[in-house]
Amino acid sequence: MILLVGLGNPGSRYLFNRHNIGFMAVDAIWHRHGFAPWRSRFQGAVAEGRLGEVQSLLLKPRTYMNESGRAVAAAMRFYKIGTDAVIVFHDELDLAPGKLRTKTGGGVAGHNGLRSLAAHVGPDFRRVRLGIGHPGDKHLVYDYVLRDFANSDRDWLEPLLAAIAEHAPLLAAGKDSSFMNKVHLTLNPPEEEPEETDG
């Protein structure tokens, strides 16, 4: 089994915040792949299903962001899975809006959700970093991440979430680089060469 975790804050007031793009990613996977209904477990909302051949569990912690690790640790203990089977979707200030990168392990870069996870389960979980851009001044970051996406952001946000959901089975199969490449190609299809004509 793999555990796919979306990071965000619970409650309707945070629903469309930039900080909640991790929740949005797992919601998109849930819709696309016909997972079971959400239910309350592990201090969060969970849904079971399959991605390709892999049994998968989606988790949205209902603790606030800075306590996300508690829910993830509880699910890992119950299912007896290691950090190599944990994939965390989270907002990333250091990537341009709409960009996506995968990595395993690393630091927390001031992200309270990642800090909580590292404290509870160690740093070596797999990460899907979802670019939201940076406000340009570190003093503006708090208000920036807790503000809703602008209407104009839908132009890149909705295609990104759809591409993540479409190619999620590659993540489940441990093919993180292939997943990243497929998402990139879906969002940036190569231009077709014009056909040469005689004359």
Whole-angstrom distance, CA of residue 104 vs CA of residue 88: 10
Name the 3-class secondary structure at 108.
coil
> How crowded is residue 14: how many other Cβ atoms within 10 Å of its Cβ?
16
3-state SS assignment for residue 30? helix
Rounded CA-CA distance 61/144 in Å is 22
Distance CA 182, CA 25 (A): 16
> Does 111 qualify as catalytic in the annotation?
no
The β-bridge relationship of strands 86-92 and 2-6 is parallel
Tell me which DSSP letter residue 138 carries.
Answer: G
Instruction: Identify the active-site residue in 19, 33, 111, 167.
Output: 19
Catalytic residue positions, numbered: 19
